[in-house]
Structure 1
């Protein structure tokens, strides 16, 4: 009996018809769509709109915890209720656990946006998977991530982390199970189903990785920071009316 394998690109930031076509052409079965600063209902609506019999889109949230200078990102899969950005790490962790979502650590040890070795060790009992290959991360960061995961004894995952359409499907996680709906992926992550982290290689892959890394400059532009903090009404700001003050006690802005 052959065990089913499902190829999941565990973290993409862009989604439209061309992204769907590219994912299918790359043999991807599932995409986890987790755009920055977008509320869960909108993410879920977009995921449902672009899912079909050949490609499942699962909504995810990359939550920015802490302040802008010292933020720690958490990738939550399976949330049932919206969680804002810029709340404390402990506040986000508590909410993810309470909702029964899978807690994944994206791009560990990358700059000032990730969990490091001490934090991963300290919270290992709550972490379901740690990323060991991210197409946007430099090679030395991915190598360091692998060592962190081996030291912590936690399951791994890989993703394209595509902010650009062309990067979709450059890396994926091959789970040894069938994943046909969101709950299947959450169960695979929480239960530690066997999987392999796979990525493409060659000159084209290196060029796409360089393009993604260069995109970091845009992501962290002063214009974006100004837009986030001067308006104070961004969709995932904890003060937004949509959250009804529920996160006031853990908000950092």
Structure 2
């Protein structure tokens, strides 16, 4: 635990190695949530366990890409008991998350073309447990809009580094007012609306992180990346992958 009674967690990190863990510990975090793109749940769990330590817990999660590439909506889930693929309908994903009792987080709402909209959040309000109100990839207008959505929908807030780069870890996190021990405790805290603070920096490091992460976003959405994802074979999280045994065939959008 950190020096205070708070439990400090970065609920959305895309990268994981020794450098990431070191930065998280130096930032006073108790845990990070590891949710890489296009990676199946068993692999995420194994990697998270390998990097967990008594000083820093690494909690596995999935950011599910619902819908098509042109109209995708990201949903972050912690506490999954069964794998869920990408590229299924939002409705099917929300129904499966509800069935599994996972904690459902709305990352970067209404950001770019990859996020839940206000209409989506209202429609699935009973399933969504918490709404992100800050990450350093956002500009101030995006964060203000996200906070307004969380308040209007009466959903508890969270902040994350949304780190696609190791240097981003520690710029933002969520601090719960009670100690949490493991993944199950975090899922319960998110689902039950346990009191928490969205903590973030606004100085030079925040803006340096914003610039670096936005540059990474441009690379990530380049045609080169799209070619790698969609023209060179089936992704491990595609609903047609053998790992899903046809369970999501009716919900697949590709």
1: CA distance between counterparts of 2:232 and 2:97? 27
The residue number in structure 2 matching 1:145 is 146
Map 1:221-236 to 2 at 5 A.
221-236=222-237
1:153-189 CA-partner distances (Å, limit 9, x unpaired):
1111110000000000100000111111100000000
1: CA distance between counterparts of 2:235 and 2:125? 32
Cα drift, residue 46 of structure 1: 0.6
Once superposed, what is the RMSD of the aligned Cα atoms? 1.0
TM-score computed with the length of structure 2 as normaliser: 0.97
The residue number in structure 1 matching 2:117 is 116
Map 1:23-102 to 2 at 5 A.
23-102=24-103
SS class of match (1:37): coil
Is the Cα contact below 8 Å between 1:128 and 1:189 reproduced in 2?
yes
The residue number in structure 2 matching 1:213 is 214
Is the Cα contact below 8 Å between 2:8 and 2:29 reproduced in 1?
yes
The residue number in structure 1 matching 2:249 is 248
2: CA distance between counterparts of 1:221 and 1:78? 32
SS class of match (2:70): helix
SS class of match (1:68): coil
Is the Cα contact below 8 Å between 1:232 and 1:239 reproduced in 2?
no
Cα drift, residue 232 of structure 1: 4.1
Runs of 4+ in structure 1 off by over 3 angstroms are none
Structure 1 stretches lacking a partner, 5+ long = none
1: CA distance between counterparts of 2:144 and 2:6? 25
1:90-114 CA-partner distances (Å, limit 9, x unpaired):
1111111111100110000101111
2: CA distance between counterparts of 1:134 and 1:202? 14
Cα drift, residue 231 of structure 1: 3.4
TM-score computed with the length of structure 1 as normaliser: 0.97
SS class of match (2:63): strand
2: CA distance between counterparts of 1:193 and 1:21? 27
2: CA distance between counterparts of 1:213 and 1:228? 20
Give the number of aligned pairs.
251
The residue number in structure 2 matching 1:18 is 19
